[in-house]
Amino acid sequence: MRLPYRFLISALLIVSAVFVTGCTSDWLAGLPFLSPVPTTPVPANITCGMENCHGLAVRCGAQPVNFCTMEYAPGDRCRQYASCHIVQGSCQLVTEGPFERCKNCVEMCNNQYGNSPMAMMTCEQKC
């Protein structure tokens, strides 16, 4: 009965030692797929964010809005796929895959139902 207990404790100590050694060693640093990618440091005082709140024309810049109104404009749903980030030292729009598809759909709805706000909103909800 004592043998399994000692074996369990020994195995736990060995696994812990291997884990600690692996976490603190630098043996993987030389491998090309694990080498850190050099990045250009960005000054801490650069602010980057959306400068407007509504619609498809997302504008990024150094003066992001502090708050947005509760009104809704066509394309606001698409903005969940857009964000502003500092890329190569400048504030730029970064979009996820669904943004372009959503934007194209909203623009199609606007072309078809631009004169009818209710029909436009109904169409946009399907985007």
Domain boundaries, the chain: 3-125
Q: Please say if the pLDDT value at position 16 is more than 60.
A: no
Q: How far apart are CA 84 and CA 65, in angstroms?
A: 12
Note the pLDDT tens digit of each residue in 66-118. Answer: 999 999 999 999 999 999 999 888 999 999 989 999 999 999 999 999 899 99
Stretch 52-57: mean pLDDT: 94
To the nearest 10°, report the CA torsion of 22, 26, 30, 34: 60
Burial class (CB in 10 A: 0-12, 13-18, 19+), 52: middle
Residues paired with 93 in a beta bridge: 84
Q: Please say if the pLDDT value at position 65 is more than 50.
A: yes
- Phi first, then psi: give them for residue 62, nearest 5 degrees: -85, -5
Q: Is residue 27 very low, low, confident or very high in pLDDT (cuts 50, 70, 90)? A: very low
Please name the residue ranges forming H helices in 25-116: 97-113
What's the chain's average pLDDT?
78
Comparison of pLDDT for 126 and 7, the residue scoring more: 126
- By percentage, how much of the chain surpasses pLDDT 90? 57
Q: How far apart are CA 102 and CA 40, in angstroms?
A: 33
